[in-house]
Chain A
Amino acid sequence: MLTAADIRVQEAPFDLGAEASTFAASQTGMGAVVTFTGIVRDLDGTLDYMQVEHYPGMTEKALRSIAEDAHKRWDLGGSLIIHRHGRLAPDDMIMMVATASRHRKDAFEAAMYLMDYLKSRAPFWKKEATGGDASWVDARDEDEEALKDWS
């Protein structure tokens, strides 16, 4: 089944406003568009940069599979996932999702679902560099637990 899911994995920055506008304008008959944007956090002001590694080939397939599952569960007109890799600075936008549906509940829930699954099931790994040191970000048990809410 070909679903209206736009999946992009890229090093380049994206323009949140332009992407959200283009996505919303491409939909017809949809009453709701939800967007979520992830931003590189610098909790204690010491982060020099974040390096995002991914698995080219599998990443795109995993994201498409997650989006297709969302389209099966909710009545969506379309969905968009953009996820960056490479070197990112604090406060850079790292990723975004957008969902469109006739009703807001479906759009909100599908956006949550995309986020929950791409955090733990899409092959990305984050490394944080602080003061000459770099360490891999550990997966959080809460992120794995969150998937149980959807089963």
Chain B
Amino acid sequence: MDVLYFAWVRERIGLPRETVQTGAPTVADLVVELRAREARYDMAFSDLTALRVAVDQELAEWNTPLAGVREVAFFPPMTGG
């Protein structure tokens, strides 16, 4: 699936998107896999209360299932307007 990063999450991880091969059943499981990769991922995901997630372009929760999902995005709380 495609994993996208925005705002300071993108800056900390150092890329806007990547394709990830994963069997993670939920968003939270995907986060655990990403954190185990490298320090920059571990740091970016160190405080989940400061992050939001979208699954297939809809706001989602940490326990949202990933079966059949094409796109997951991680970003800080939004500041539009």
Select which of B54, B76, B79 is within 8 A of A119 by beta carbon. Answer: B79
Cβ–Cβ contact A118 & B4, under 8 A: no
Which candidate, A16-24, A69-77, A124-132, is the interface stretch facing chain B? Answer: A124-132
Cβ–Cβ contact A120 & B78, under 8 A: yes
Select which of A58, A126, A136 is within 8 A of B73 by beta carbon. Answer: A58
Cβ–Cβ contact B8 & A119, under 8 A: no
Cβ–Cβ contact B75 & A123, under 8 A: yes
Secondary structure of the A side of the interface?
Answer: mixed
B57 at the interface (CB under 8 A from A): yes
**Interface size bracket, A side:** 20 to 34
| Cα of A95 to Cα of B79 in the assembled complex, Å | 12
Cβ–Cβ contact B75 & A138, under 8 A: no
* A124 touching B73 in the complex, CB below 8 Å, given contacts A55-B54, A58-B54: no
A43 at the interface (CB under 8 A from B): no
Chain A residue contacts of B54, Cβ below 8 A: 55, 58, 123
A45 at the interface (CB under 8 A from B): no
Cβ–Cβ contact A119 & B4, under 8 A: no
B6 at the interface (CB under 8 A from A): yes
Cβ–Cβ contact A55 & B76, under 8 A: no
Interface bits B1-39 vs A (CB < 8 Å: 1, else 0): 000101110000000000000000000000000000000
Cβ–Cβ contact B77 & A120, under 8 A: yes
Cβ–Cβ contact A55 & B80, under 8 A: no
B43 at the interface (CB under 8 A from A): no
Cβ–Cβ contact B81 & A55, under 8 A: no
A11 at the interface (CB under 8 A from B): no
* A136 touching B59 in the complex, CB below 8 Å, given contacts A55-B73, A58-B73, A118-B81: no
A-B CB contact pairs (8 Å), 7 listed: A55-B6, A58-B57, A58-B58, A123-B75, A125-B7, A138-B77, A138-B79
| Seed contacts A55-B75, A124-B81; 18 additional CB < 8 Å A-B pairs | A38-B81, A55-B4, A57-B57, A62-B59, A115-B81, A119-B81, A120-B77, A120-B80, A123-B73, A124-B78, A125-B78, A125-B79, A126-B79, A136-B7, A136-B8, A137-B79, A138-B79, A139-B79
